[in-house]
Amino acid sequence: MKQKFDIGIIGAGLSGLTLANSLLSKKINNFILFEKAFKNDKTYSFWSGPGLFDIKKKLNIRIKKEWSQIEVKVKGKSYIIDLGHYRYACYESKLVLQELYKRVVTKGIKVERGSLIKHIKKINDNWEINLDRKKILLKNVADSRPNNKFEDKYPSLKQVFIGSEIISNEKIFNENTATLMDFFESKKNVIFTYVLPFSKTRALVETTFFSHEINFKEVDALHKKTLKNFNIKEILRTEKAVLPMSPYFEERADNQYFKIGNFGGASRPASGYAFTRIALWANQIDIKNQFTYKLINHKKNYLTNWLDKIFLSVLRSNPKEAPKIFQIFFTKVPIASVIRFLSDQARLIDYLAIVLKLPKIIMLRGLLNLYVK
């Protein structure tokens, strides 16, 4: 049996379902999704506020918790930054993906669940996927499967982290303040704890390494040690992942084959965050009508990518300077510029503010290392 669709989306995760919703909003429905197994046990966080693309409204998703202040901690000293009209907010992946998925199935879109896609062949003008006894022909493929191999080329890094949502026996958390980075001193990696307090006793505590290698044993040992500081009553769930932090990704679509999501350039090189990029990208897809549309890859903003490259170069070649750089970044650059830059919506003035405030010699060394390493 043969079935034919205009678009096949591999992976009904964040990028696949966001794309699906964007297509539906433009009345395109001749597409199919393939998903090997739904796994929705993480939280996504991103920034919101004046002038930023309103993802919450666009995707119609519900917030788990938002914060009006963030904290950066260096050598035990705490820097609290007031976000003004901006917010840092957290969303449950389960609710986000369920909501996006519900709209897809309500519109009668076919989802092949339990389909582990391995081979895709090009046959004449179509891509072909074989499922049991079915052949599925696709004009376009949007593929969000993760790569087995992470980019290693300098200055690429990996974000390796383990997080636990915990309940403490004591009221130890300040509900208004998300701790973005509480740094450990290290000459080898950039290491910090990330704490999202959902109430006075409940929080997500994450141990994160920006690292050249993937060493979960090391991350896990530090994570266990860190958790001891929180007088834990219960661990509700644990998340663990490696995210790409690389300025290199293929932008060109090859024969109507589009790599999307974390491994297709959605992951922000200097932070590993991908939610905002995915939402912006899906919104930019140029759709004139249901027959005239063009899928696109994630696009690089060259200035952002270049600054991220320098950031990564500093983090990779000089990790012990990272706490100081992040402290300056969050406390000396106006917070609106920081947030717009981190949200891929920077204006010229934001780039200028960042370049002027960051320590020149360290950043220049980072820039030089890009050419000599």
Interacting residue ranges for ligand FAD, rule: CB under 6 A: 10-16, 34-37, 39, 42, 44-46, 115-117, 144-145, 239, 241, 243, 261-262, 266, 273-275
Q: Is the dihedral of CA 253, 272, 285, 11 positive or negative?
A: positive
Phi-psi label, residue 296: left if phi above 0, alpha if psi -120 to 50, beta otherwise: beta
- In terms of CB distance, is 144 or 256 closer to ligand FAD? 144
Give which of 224, 230, 188, 12 is closest to 100, Cα–Cα.
Answer: 12
CB of 272 to ligand FAD, least distance (A): 6
Three-state SS sequence of 142-209:
EECCCCCCCCCCCCCEEEEEEEEEEEECCCCCCCCEEEEEEEECCCCCEEEEEEEECCCCEEEEEEEE
State which residue, 129 or 336, has the beta carbon closest to ligand FAD: 129
Q: Nearest distance from residue 157's CB to ligand FAD, in Å?
A: 15
Residue 74 or 117 having the CB closest to ligand FAD? 117
Identity of the residue, 159 or 369, whose beta carbon is nearer to ligand FAD in the bound complex: 159
The conformation of residue 251, written as its DSSP 8-state character, comes to: -
Closest-approach residue to ligand FAD (CB)? 13
Cis omega (within 30 of 0) for bond into 155 = yes
As measured in angstroms, the least distance from the Cβ of 11 to ligand FAD is: 2
Single-letter amino acid, residue 66: E
The residue among 29 and 271 lying less far from ligand FAD, judged by its C-beta, is: 271
260 within 8 A of 12, measured Cβ to Cβ: no
